[in-house]
Amino acid sequence: MRIADAETALGPDRLRGELARSAFQFRLFAEAVEEGSWLGASIDHARADAVPAPRPDLRRMLVPVGVVAVFGASNFPFAFGVPGGDVAAALAAGCPVVVKAHPAHPELSERCARIVRTAATSFGLPADVLRILHGRDAGTALVVHPLVRAVGFTGSAAGGRALHDLAKSRPQPVPFYGELGSLNPVVVTPAAARERGEDIARGLTASANLGVGQFCVKPGLVLVPAGSAIAARMAELVRAVPSGTMLTDGIRTAFDDGVAARAALPGVTVAATGEPAGDRTAAASLLTAPASLLHDSAAAELLLDECFGPTTVLVPYADEAELFGVLDVLPGSLTGTVHTGDDDPVGVEAGRRLAERAGRIVWNGYPTGVAVSWAQQHGGPYPSSTEPATTSVGVTAMARFLRPIVHQDSPPGLLPAPLREDNPWGVPRRVDGVLRLG
């Protein structure tokens, strides 16, 4: 914990919680491995009377893709680092992993790698189920290494896109599962603003500044009814937000530059600034922008891009047409949030439109906080993810590192255990179209 706090400045309480999350992820994947449905085992017995032609015996299951490269994230040194979800998912799928450590916490990454390798040997596995390397050049070489069969990445849009294009330009292209950046828009309907405007203002301010705004699901764009008290109340709350130390000097500089560039756009105002920044800290801010500016290509390029850190852009809308017009130009995001009232048609339509652009729709809540579970989806349309059909959180994250194989008319003695008639592992299977649970 001392090393983690010294390198990230995230604080012992936050880091302890994140470490507990990482341990839980490994336990959940272990339970999933034992349960067996992740194998996708399916058997179609041979049928001479099948239409339109006799059918051979077909047995399908998922197998590991091979070596997986994982690029650790800056903002979650445990949960998305060496002992993070990508690594846990790949190991659970049966794949060895090479981690490219994030330069924000190199010593912690090394320490965590030693712990994972020691744990592997204690269960009879080779320590080299996990290796670690450092440096930008090493990361580039890793993506094009012929033994690497898939890449997991969490980081900036520019860096992720460059590595994605590299992975796809290989003589043998490989899947690149990148989480690149997310705006995470929030819609507050007029009904919600009337019913609980104070609560929403407080909740959004807390969510946007959680962890000094360095969460991938931070609400970066908030659409509120013009004339509502939410904007003024959020400005009051932001002024009281203390400055905070960001993960690295480079991240803080990029944040400061990003806020300044947005504030310089015509029509954008700085509604509030938090407590003044110090030598190593960043000040929270709240910006406001007219809805019309989001239809200006030059301005929208900035306003609809993630600004990593403690800032949010507030956009008042005059009516439903203006609200829906903005929703229709939003980029892909990990989340979309709707604060709505009972039997609120505006909320229903906002949710429908956000569902076209996000992987998780949050109703009357806040996007920060991503539960690790079977049903979770942490991935959305580009640029939030390079592969929107997949998730980097939850049990189904394993699917990224598996591929299907079918055994046709295989001699029974050569079949893998999940596809044998006696099902020695007791895994759930679909047999001749009927689901059997073991």
> Which of the residues are catalytic?
179, 216
The total number of residues shown for the chain amounts to 438
Residue with the two structure tokens 């290796």: 131
> How far, in Å, CA of 136 to CA of 144, rounded?
13
C-alpha 435: how far from chain center: 31
Candidates 291, 303, 361, 359; CA nearest to 327 is 291
Please report, as a single letter, which amino acid is at residue 175.
P
> How far, in Å, CA of 60 to CA of 254, rounded?
48
Burial of 381 (0-12, 13-18, 19+ CB in 10 A): middle
Q: What is the largest CA-CA distance in the chain?
A: 78
Report the run of H or E that residue 331 belongs to, with start and end. Answer: none
Burial of 263 (0-12, 13-18, 19+ CB in 10 A): middle
Candidates 267, 330, 328; CA nearest to 304 is 330
Candidates 278, 304, 279; CA nearest to 291 is 304
DSSP SS3 for 289: coil
DSSP SS3 for 414: helix
